[in-house]
Each structure stands twice: as structure tokens, then as C-alpha cells.
Structure 1
Amino acid sequence: MMDRLRESLDETQARALLRRIFEAGIASADPLKVLAAHLPAKPRGRCVVVGAGKSAAVMAQAVEAAWPDVDLSGVVVAPYGHRVPTRRIEVLEAAHPVPDEASEAAARRILDAVSGLGAEDLVLALISGGGSSLMALPAPGLTLADKKAVNRLLLASGASINEMNRVRRRLSAIKGGRLAEAAHPAFVVTLAISDVPGDDPRAIASGPTVFDPQAGDDLSALVRRLGTGLPPAAARLLANEPGPRDHFVSDFRLIATPLMALQAAARVARDAGLRPLILGDALEGEAREVGTLMAGIARSARRHGHPLGGPAVILSGGETTVSIGSARPGRGGRNTEFLLGLALALAGAPGIFALAGDTDGVDGTQEAAGAVVTPDTLARARQAGLDPAALLAAHDSYTLFEALGDLVVTGPTLTNVNDLRAILIL
């Protein structure tokens, strides 16, 4: 069967198969399909729903559908353009990835919603990736302008998502457990969609309902990396600032994770006659360097059958980084940069195709989830007058894939379980 599959798949079919694999990963994290199974017992007192993230609005919609007989109230915040209809839970919109004034107003509304609750009341916190910027309330002594400046420095620094979230927790009046502290003595149940390597609850939207034992750690080394553009008030808080006391009552439940998405993708691949191999759900590193590494694995698989023989698909998740430095970058995100690094390292090797994309539908700040690489990607680019190596050096990978018509455009998926990379080996 596998030999027949190798012989029968042409480029169009290979692209379509990769797209099905990618979309299966996204579908595995659809709150309307998975959230209800994770709800707690219905409360005897009030039920207040709060939340923030790219999935917050559709998660609120899923709660309303699952609990039609519960008296729900509350407010959640999602990125602009991610609103869905709800009847009992208010949906606000704010900016991502850099917070705006609406982000600060939303954070205040959410804190107000959980104030004055009793021990028999329930707070459902719906948390997903993107919540850090959408629910941005500066710590005392900071301004929103300070937080915006820090966010921009973090995005350009090459810092890992865990490093970013340690900074965000430290500089916030709502993250790092402070939302759950404000809800005390109500019982807090967090339903979370993980977009971070390792699924650390403290890192998903910077852990608004999770006590942070690292709250008082010295982050001076990271302060030095961020440089002189760091606002002085932020630098002082990052040096040493105690977090909230661990006196709130809460339960944290993961309803969708990067590994679950990879497993769903693997099932689709297996049903199509491929051998799937999941390398891991938490791969990190410079995007172009990870692309080079993956190219070596793919070439070994096709030439020697190691680590597995084809037809096969190598799957991985996690979040790579793009360190821009001082030069003005072109257009592109970590997935298109990974793919261009992969294509250059493959150098037109036959029988190897790849798709990489962010499951939220947005790679970086561009309006595409990612892109596709084929054996003739470099040749087509050069025929179009493009220099792939120069574009990679300029962090301008989006320009190449846009010119080739190889972008993967999904629109907002209303979920986010980080990046999903699939390398098809025929």
C-alpha cells in the first residue's frame, strides 16, 4: 500500500494531504468540540465566566451551549476580529500581540467581574494563547506605554515564550495568579488551551489564575538582554518584585494542547497510508536553524530509511524564535522563516514536501498561517527573480512564499495550540 501511495501522489495531492494533516491539528483544539467534557459540577452559587485569549469568545460560546440552565454572567476578551455571538457572557475585543487601551480596560472589567464573590460561587476562567496582551493591566508604577515598549522589545529579542511570560507576569496587576487572588474566596476553575512548549500553566497567557513560585526571581540577565530601551520603571520591577500570596482555591484543566494536535495530525496521516513520527511538541530554537536540522532528518529518512522509511510524515510542534537584531526586517514569521531555512538546506531534494503554520492562523503579524515547501520551491523562486538566501538573511520569507502562491491562509481559527510542522517524505 505504501509503495502504491508513493507512486500515486503527485504534487497537488501532496499539498492537499499536508493541508488535511494541518487542519486536523487545528480541529482537535476546537472549543465547541472539546470544552464541555472538562466542565466542573454546576455551582450552588453564582457562576462568573471570565477569560482572555484568541479562543476566549468561542470558549464562552461553548460554555453557554453546554450550560443552558445555569445562570451565567461575566466578560471575556478576544483579539479584534475574533468575536462570536454570545447571549449571557459579554465579549470584548483588544489588541494582539501589542496591548492597547482596550486591553487595559478589559483587564479592569475582568477584575471587577470577580470581586465580591463568596465561597459557594464559581469562577470559570477561559484562558488561551494571546491573553497576555489582551488582558494587560500594568503593575503599580507602570504605564500602558511602558508595557507596550516592553512587549515590542520582547518580540524583537529572540526571547523564548517562557521568558516573555516571566516578564509579563512580573509587570502585571492581573497575571501570575493575581486574577485568582482577586476572586478569593470563590472557587476558580481554569479551562485552558495551551500554546506553549511543555504546557506550563504559568506560561499560558502568563498564568492569571496560577500561583507563580518564580515571582521573586532575579531577572536582571534578561533585563540586560532587552537593552537600554527598557523603561526604567519596568527594569526596577524586573529586578525583584514579590508575587501574590498562594491563598486562592483553584483547579487548572487543559482542554487542548500541542501534543493533542500532533496526535490528531498523526491519525490523519496514518489513515492516508503514511508512517507518522512525532518528534516532540515543544521544539525551540532559531527558526532557520531548526529548518536546517529538520532538512537533515528528512534527507536521512528518504535516503536511508532512518529514523523511519517513507512514505512518512515527520511532525513537530513548539515555538521557534526569530532573532532580528538591529537591522530592519522584511515580512515573515517564524514558520515561513523555518520553511525557507528548510528549503535552502534541502536544496531541491526530490520527494520531500513540507507545511508549517501557526494553528491560530497568523504567523507572526502576517495574514497567513504559514506556507508550503515543495522540491522545486528554490527553482521557482529563482525563476521569479528572487534570491532565497538573501531573503532569509533579511527575514523576508513571507515575500518569497507570497510570490510563489505558496502561503497557507486559514483566517482566524479561534484557537491556538502553537505551531504545527509536517514534513512529507515520499
Structure 2
Amino acid sequence: MFQAAIDSASPDHTLPFHLPMPPAGHTIVVGAGKAAASMARAVERAWPQDKPLSGLVVTRYGHGVGALDRIEVVEASHPVPDAAGEAAAWRILDRVQGLTPQDLVLCLISGGGSALLAAPLPGVTLTDKQAINRALLRSGAAIEEMNCVRKHLSAVKGGRLAQAAAPARLVTLVISDVPGDDPSVIASGPTVADATTQAEARAVLARYGIDLPPSVAAVLADPRFESPKPGNPAFIGAETRMIATPQAALEAAARVAEAAGITPIVLGDAIEGESREVGRVMAGIALQVARHGQPVQAPCVLLSGGETTVTVRGTGRGGRNVEFLLSLAIALKGKAGISAIAGDTDGVDGAEEIAGAVISPATLSQAAALGIAAQTSLDANDGHGFFEALGAGVITGPTLTNVNDFRAILIR
């Protein structure tokens, strides 16, 4: 089921059906995200050879696809931006300057683009952005909150790339990795009008107690740097086309379950909250099925997606999917007949090249036999260390796509 979810979001399978017709002028491809390289490759394969095509996209280190013929692929750091991402962002802005209405800007956006497009506004340094990113990642802030802040410190996000590309025609192809598939949130919406405000960004930072350098505070208070809003001429005629979503991934997994004679129950594609809390809630649902056959009889599988969060308090190696699984396993207490998988569809849970893990009724006893207490690992946010010791990690390598988290709880 996990593999089916990933395959459903492959740009090779989905992107060609969403391409616009070539324009009378030039086509410039730009983009950012963990799927940017595979999306660019899919564009090259499908684009007519006799039509002009050039561009530049930026992806995460290790998520490239080798050299392409007409589109340059740059790799940079995620989730904390680096100088390579900053340089790529400025080059992308430069690529879309001076175009005409006869030209087309084809923008390829996927999850991770916020960190990879790191062109700061005047007065903000890359070091400032790195520090704020790290603080937000550890705070437990939701993705919408993090991207609200990122938009208001960026020269390219929050619709500013669309401003730079005008008056060219703009078509954005998006792989969604956020709850609700809001294109203004995915990669912080570089080509989409921004409904959030500087005041909201300041409120997010205050809510999580994140200290700001005076220069950054000044930028967030200066109305000259407010992001472009709906109604701005830059967005007239701009199109956004969603080519892959978490819901489609869950539906692909559900078809696998049905073919195996297992009833799929899709709990939601936009589930948020603290990972450990979501784990406890889903354990309660799974136990209700196992004990009482409600809301459905076993065998069945509870499927869900979205993006949970982790408030980091320990010093372990973790990610939101393994944090969820640790909490789930503890709450299930080894209940017979229940197993689960959780993983990030991009192949990276947290900051490690580990997609997620699996649990079974034997997980807690296996850990105890190794002298490992699951609750101690959870308290330390050490999900990767826990599942690595058990040999229960799921390692896919870069999947070259990203429709966020995938969770399946199988009840037999």
C-alpha cells in the first residue's frame, strides 16, 4: 500500500496530462521541491522537441535525476536552507525577467520548496533564515504557520515569483504535500497570491517564543515588504494545476487493500496535530475495531495522510512518522492482530534518509528484550534509534515525489 501511494504521485505518471500547449514565444521552466528534478525530467520527455524549452529547478541534495538536456537541476539543503538554495533562488528570479505575453513560465512546485527557495528580503540574511527555520522546526508549529513566516521573509515566495514573471503567461504544476492542498501553502506559494499578513507572521513567531534579530523584526513591520495579495495584476490569468495529492495516494493504497480482501477506511488526507497525540487517538480507533467490530469489521485497514508535528524536547533521532508509531505501539500494548506502517512519501522522515517504520504486536516485547523502553525513546524523540535497533525502519531512498505522510493500520 505504501508503494502504491508513492507510485500514484510519480511525475512520470501524472505530469504529462497537465502540460499546457507550447506558446508562440519561449517556455521557461522554473521550480523547487523534492520532486523538482523528476518533474523537470517528465516535462522534457513530454515537451515537443521542436519547441523552445529551457530553465532551472532546485531540489534537495540526493534527489536529482542526473543531467537533463534542456533544464538545469541544482541541488540544495532541506529542511534548513543553505547558500546553494539562495543562489538558485536568485537565478530563478533572473530567469523569468524580461519576458513577454507570448512567453510561458512553467513553474514546477512540490513539497520542500520553501527551504530550497531561499532568497531573503533586504535586511534579512541567510543566517537569519537558517536560525528561524531551525527554531520553527523544533517548535511544533504547523506547516501553515511555518510557511506564513517564510513568505514574509522571502523575495521569491508568497507570490513574488509571479510578480517577477509578469507579463508572461504563468502555469504552475503542483504536487501537494500539505493538508487541504492549498497552493498558497505548498512551498510557500511562490506563484500564488498570499492571504496571510506580516502581522500573522509576527504572531506565529511570538506564539512559539522565537526571538528575532532587530533587522528581521524591522522587515516584518515594514509595509513595503508585505506580500502580494489577491487582485494583484500579476495573478491575472495565472493557472495552478494540481497533478498529485495525498487523497489520490490514499485511494491508490485503498485499491491495493480491496484487491487483498481487506476493507479500507480512509480517515482523512489532512490530519494534523502532535504526532504522539494522533498515535494515541488512532490506537483507540484500532482497538474499537478489534474489540467491537466498529466502525467496521476486521479485516480492515485504517488509512490516513496529512502532516503531524513534533515538539522536540529530547535529544534523540526522530521524525513525525516514527514518533507517531512509537506512540501508537505504546497505546496498543501489543494487541494481537494489529500492525502498522507510517512513512513520508518522499523517503525522508525528519532529517534522515529513513522513510518511516513498521510495528507489529511483538514490537514492545522485542524492544524490551533488547533493554529498550519504548516510552523512554518517545520521551527522547528517538524514534529512529528505537526502530533501527529493532530492524524495523523503512528505507526507500529518495522517491522523487512528495505527497506527505502515509499511515496504514492493519487490523486482522
Q: TM-score range by the shorter chain?
A: over 0.9
Q: Residue 228 of structure 2 aligns with which residue? A: 244
**Residue 78 (structure 1) shift:** 0.7
CA RMSD of aligned residues (A): 1.2
Q: Residue 71 of structure 1 aligns with which residue? A: 52
Q: Residue 215 of structure 1 aligns with which residue? A: 197
Q: Residue 309 of structure 2 aligns with which residue? A: 321
Contact 1:157/1:324 (8 A) holds in 2? yes
**Residue 154 (structure 1) shift:** 0.5
TM-score under structure 1 length normalisation:
0.93
Give the one of 282, 288, 291 matched to 1:294: 282
Contact 1:190/1:251 (8 A) holds in 2? yes
Can you list the C-alpha shifts for 1:16-68, whole angstroms capped at 9, x where unaligned? xxxxx001000000001110001112211110000000000110000011113
Give the one of 52, 64, 73 matched to 1:83: 64
Query: Unaligned 5+ residue runs, structure 2?
Result: none
The code of the aligned residue for 2:228 comes to: P
Question: Secondary structure of the equivalent of 1:198?
Answer: coil
Can you list the C-alpha shifts for 1:201-241, whole angstroms capped at 9, x where unaligned? 11100000001122344433322234353323223333464
Q: Which moved more, 1:207-216 or 1:106-115?
A: 207-216
Q: Distance in 2 between matches of 1:348 and 1:223?
A: 40
Structure 2 residue 389 is matched with structure 1 residue 409:
no
Contact 2:264/2:301 (8 A) holds in 1? yes
**Residue 307 (structure 1) shift:** 1.3
Distance 1:355 1:116, change over 3 A: same
Structure 2 residue 150 is matched with structure 1 residue 165:
no
The code of the aligned residue for 1:353 comes to: S
Contact 1:149/1:231 (8 A) holds in 2? no
Q: Distance in 2 between matches of 1:107 and 1:294?
A: 40
Q: Residue 107 of structure 1 aligns with which residue? A: 89
Query: Unaligned 5+ residue runs, structure 1?
Result: 1-20
Question: Secondary structure of the equivalent of 2:283?
Answer: helix
Q: Distance in 2 between matches of 1:356 and 1:312?
A: 16
Can you list the C-alpha shifts for 1:48-93, whole angstroms capped at 9, x where unaligned? 0000000001100000111132210110011111111310001111
Contact 1:352/1:425 (8 A) holds in 2? yes
Contact 1:315/1:422 (8 A) holds in 2? yes
The code of the aligned residue for 1:215 comes to: T
- Poorly superposed stretches of 4+, deviation over 4 Å: none
Contact 1:287/1:334 (8 A) holds in 2? yes
Q: Residue 15 of structure 1 aligns with which residue? A: none
Question: Secondary structure of the equivalent of 1:35?
Answer: helix
Q: Distance in 1 between matches of 2:90 and 2:182?
A: 25
Question: Secondary structure of the equivalent of 1:317?
Answer: strand
Question: Secondary structure of the equivalent of 2:211?
Answer: coil
Question: Secondary structure of the equivalent of 1:320?
Answer: coil
Contact 1:218/1:240 (8 A) holds in 2? no
Contact 2:26/2:53 (8 A) holds in 1? yes
Give the one of 158, 162, 166 matched to 1:184: 166
The code of the aligned residue for 2:62 comes to: G
Contact 1:371/1:406 (8 A) holds in 2? yes
Question: Secondary structure of the equivalent of 2:354?
Answer: coil
Q: Distance in 2 between matches of 1:167 and 1:218?
A: 8
Give the one of 144, 150, 171 matched to 2:126: 144
Contact 2:205/2:211 (8 A) holds in 1? no
Contact 2:135/2:210 (8 A) holds in 1? no
Structure 2 residue 9 is matched with structure 1 residue 25:
no
Question: Secondary structure of the equivalent of 2:336?
Answer: coil
Contact 2:33/2:116 (8 A) holds in 1? yes
Can you list the C-alpha shifts for 1:247-283, whole angstroms capped at 9, x where unaligned? 1131000000110100111011111111000000000
The code of the aligned residue for 1:24 comes to: A
Q: Distance in 1 between matches of 2:182 and 2:361?
A: 37
Matching of residues 40-51 of structure 1 within 5 Å = 40-51=20-31
Q: How many residues align?
A: 404
Give the one of 264, 269, 280 matched to 2:257: 269
Structure 2 residue 328 is matched with structure 1 residue 350:
no
TM-score under structure 2 length normalisation:
0.96
